[in-house]
Amino acid sequence: MPVLGIETSCDETAAAIYDGERGLLAHALYSQVALHAEYGGVVPELASRDHVARINPLIREVLARANLRPDQLTGVAYTAGPGLVGALMVGGAVAAGMAAAHNLPLIPVHHMEGHLLAPMLEADRPQFPFMALLVSGGHTLLVAVRGIGDYEILGESLDDAVGEAFDKTAKMMGLPYPGGPHLAKLAQLGTPGRYKFPRPMTDRPGLDFSFSGLKTAVLTALPKGATDQDKADIAHGFQEAVTETLAIKCARAIEQTGFPALVVAGGVGANLRLRERLGEFARKNNISLHFPRHEFCTDNAAMIAYVGWARRSQGQHTHTLLARPRWPITELETV
Ligand code: ATP
Ligand code: MG
Ligand code: FE
């Protein structure tokens, strides 16, 4: 049952094909990062236009690599939200057009459910129930996952998302856009312990996060005429504060639920220090830990094709186009 997945929610255009028996058959992605770099952030109108230009060749590419004709698919899944409305509409319209032309069911997919279930694309898949730490450019969530679509949010950021905090802090330090990976790289050259930043909201009970204060702490610490070493030391201190805060809250969430597994997904899941820090925690506490491979931490269509296949195989689909810029993950149907 091969299902095509289409992702166009933000600044990555992507297509992939997932099959229940054979797994991921093909995936392809075009990143618009260079297009938006000179503006220091995603320009929605430019993103939509570029999706229009990129998506069809990517779909042709994955069909060719999977050696399939469109009429051999059993469904077309697309990211229906959350995301930029114009960008979502492009992927949705292309998916709806293909579905109509080849008489295929259409499967709207929640982008964050895609991130959440991306570890299912790996050989070492997590078993339900598990705790999920979703850390991306727009979201910071601790989710109790009891099955597909059965999501309970236990904690979330009250202000900036983790990825956003990385990007904003990197921008303040003069690093190129998008700053998260650059800041992480710089942190590797930093002197441990020279800067110690707060671990926000860890001194009180609860599982919510707040990252906007860290930005201010970095700004205050950043000396005028900071040298490269100063910047690396600050980046190190920032990354330690963020990863330790996330690790403390994950430990609390696992303790609270007794769940035996932790899944980490979303772009910040690519952060090596976070992987290392949570690895230590998991080993000590005998928790199984799952990450998607690096390229499936950030936006991709493989995760959308997977969710599309999982929902399609349970009979869920529609024939109408849906675009929901805001869409709480807790409103999904279970399968
Ligand atoms: P959302 O999924 O919430 O809509 P998004 O799709 O923009 O947001 P992702 O593509 O999942 O987010 O992740 C991108 C984010 O991950 C960016 O903020 C980026 O800086 C951050 N990021 C990527 N790699 C790293 C890294 N190694 N360390 C820290 N942050 C990283
Ligand atoms: Mg992106
Ligand atoms: Fe994303």
Tens-place pLDDT, residues 37-70: 999 999 999 999 999 999 999 999 999 999 999 9
pLDDT of 319 over the 90 cut: no
Q: Whose CA is nearest to atom 8 of ligand 1?
A: 137
Residue 123 resides in a domain: no
Based on the fold, state whether residues 59 and 201 are members of the same structural domain: no
Residue nearest (by alpha carbon) to ligand 1 atom 12 = 137
pLDDT category of residue 28 using cuts at 50, 70 and 90: very high
Under the banding of pLDDT at 50, 70 and 90, the label for residue 263 is very high
Nearest ligand, measured from the Cα of 296: 1
- Count Cβ atoms within 10 A of the Cβ of residue 335 and give its class: 0-12 exposed, 13-18 middle, 19 or more buried: middle
Tell me, yes or no, whether 72 and 198 share the same domain. Answer: no
Q: Are 141 and 271 in contact (CB under 8 A)?
A: no
> Are 105 and 164 in the same domain?
no
Instruction: Name the DSSP class of 25.
Output: E
Taking a C-beta distance cutoff of 8 angstroms, is the pair 40, 171 a contact?
yes
Do 167 and 303 fall into the same domain?
no
Q: Are 280 and 215 in the same domain?
A: yes
Q: Do residue 196 and residue 230 come from a single domain?
A: yes
- Asked if 241 and 284 sit in the same domain, the reply is yes
Distance 298 CA to ligand 2 centre (A): 7
pLDDT bucket at 143, cuts 50 / 70 / 90: very high
**Number of domains comprising the chain:** 2
Would residue 73 count as lying in a domain? Answer: yes
For residue 181 and ligand 1, the question of a CB distance below 6 A is answered with: yes
Hey, which of 299, 300, 303, 327 would you mutate to test ligand 1's pocket, going by the most ligand atoms within 8 Å of its Cβ? 299
Q: Considering the domain boundaries, does residue 16 fall inside one?
A: yes
The amino acid that residue 224 corresponds to is K
Question: 100 with 238, same domain?
Answer: no
Cβ–Cβ under 8 Å, residues 139 and 10: no
Please, what is the average pLDDT of the chain? 97
CATH of the domain at 133: 3.30.420.40
Q: Take atom 24 of ligand 1 and give the residue whose Cα is closest.
A: 181
Q: Is residue 67 part of a domain?
A: yes
Q: Give a yes or no: residue 249 inside a domain.
A: yes
Distance (angstroms) between ligand 2 centre and the Cα of 71 equals 30
Q: Is residue 37 part of a domain?
A: yes
pTM above 0.90, yes or no: yes
Cα distance between residue 278 and residue 92, in whole Å: 36
Task: Give the whole-number percent of the chain exceeding pLDDT 90.
Answer: 98
Q: What is the pLDDT of residues 144-170, one digit of tens each?
A: 999 999 999 999 999 999 999 999 999
Residue 86 gets the label, from left (phi > 0), alpha (psi -120 to 50) or beta, of alpha
Pairing of strands 130-135, 23-31: unpaired
Between the CA of residue 309 and those of 159, 266, 305, what are the distances in Å?
Answer: 34, 20, 6
Per the CB < 8 A criterion, the answer to whether 137 and 177 are in contact is no
Tell whether 40 and 162 lie within a shared domain.
Answer: no
Q: Do 282 and 320 share a domain, yes or no?
A: no
> Cα of 194 to ligand 3 centre, how many Å?
33
Which tens digit of pLDDT belongs to each residue from 119-137?
999 999 999 999 999 999 9
CA pair distance 180, 274, nearest whole angstrom: 13
Please tell me whether residues 170 and 268 are part of one structural domain: yes
**Which domain range does residue 237 map to?**
128-291
> 211-251: per-residue pLDDT in tens?
999 999 999 999 999 999 999 999 999 999 999 999 999 99
106 with 150, same domain: the answer is no
User: Does residue 244 fall inside a structural domain?
Assistant: yes
Full strand arrangement of the beta sheet holding 140-147: 150-156, 140-147, 130-135, 261-265, 288-290
ipTM over 0.90: yes
Question: Which percentage of the chain shows pLDDT scores above 70?
Answer: 100
> Which residues belong to the annotated binding site?
111, 115, 134-138, 167, 180, 271, 299
Query: Residue 233: what pLDDT?
Result: 98
For residue 116, the CA-to-ligand 3 centroid distance in Å is 10
Can you say which residues are annotated as belonging to the binding site for substrate?
134-138, 167, 180, 271
Asked if residue 122 belongs to a domain, the reply is: no
Spell out which residues have Cβ within 5 A of ligand 3, the ion. 136, 299
pLDDT of residue 236: 98
